[in-house]
Amino acid sequence: MKLYFATTLFGTYTVWIICLIFFVLALYFSFQVLREREALKTVREFSLTLILVVFIVTITGTFFEKISHIIGLKPEIYLVYPALIDTVGDVGSIIGSTTTTKLALGSLNALPNTVQRYLIEISSPWIASITLFILYSIISSFIGGINAETHFIRFVSQLLITNVLAVSLITSLSFLIAVLTYKRGWDPDNFVIPLESALADGITTISLLIALMIL
């Protein structure tokens, strides 16, 4: 079937017609949606977010290229790296989501000093992330074949340094983004989670690079 549509004239025209119909329908429904003021506001805000995310991802790729030379010599880092960026991203999501919810309910004022009253909810996911980082190091060491005690302690220390640097930054930025978007009257859902997710990857990568350079 794939060969038929790719090689015959009728098949090629059929594919182009289907694509054209889909494109026209997408334009039609887009214009219908954009007539609503709230939808237009969402598209505007998301466009800004998209530009920022692309910029952040580009920077992340640059640092990942540098760190890949070090990771290439340490297979245990390859094993644990996806879990690290995902965990840091989850912590940022928790902080961002709870902050925007509290701001919307009026239980948290949009002031910088309110972070002091928010320490319990910040420390809980942070402690959980530290526990997970230690668990990741144990599992990765076992799979990666780290037998020497000194190498294991060094590996755990590298991940803990990564956690302290990455989680502290992503927590502060998630809280700051949530407060700033709320104060400007923007929809936090269009900014907090997308920006936090993109920042988490870059921050974790840079933090891991620093930890590997220190130790």
Which portions of the chain are predicted below pLDDT 50? 4-5
Domain shared by 19 and 112, yes or no: no
Looking up tokens 């992330």 gives 129
Residue 97 CA to residue 87 CA, distance in Å, equals: 15
Q: Rounded to 5 degrees, what angle do the CA atoms 82, 86, 88 make? A: 120
- If one counts the domains in the chain, the total is 2
The domain spanning residue 80 has which CATH number?
1.10.357.20
Say if residue 86 is in the same domain as residue 31: no
Which two tokens mark 158? 């590298």
DSSP 108: S
The answer on 104 and 58 residing in a single domain is: yes
- Calpha distance 123→127 (Å, rounded): 6
What pLDDT is recorded for position 134?
92
Query: Token pair of 150, please?
Result: 């000194």
Residue 100 shares a structural domain with residue 144 = yes
State how far the Cα of 107 lies from the Cα of 102, in Å rounded to an integer.
5
CB 212 within 8 A of CB 201: no
Q: Domain residues for 177?
A: 37-214
112, 133: one domain: yes
Q: How far apart are alpha carbons 55 and 3 in whole angstroms?
A: 39
Same domain membership, residue 113 and residue 130: yes
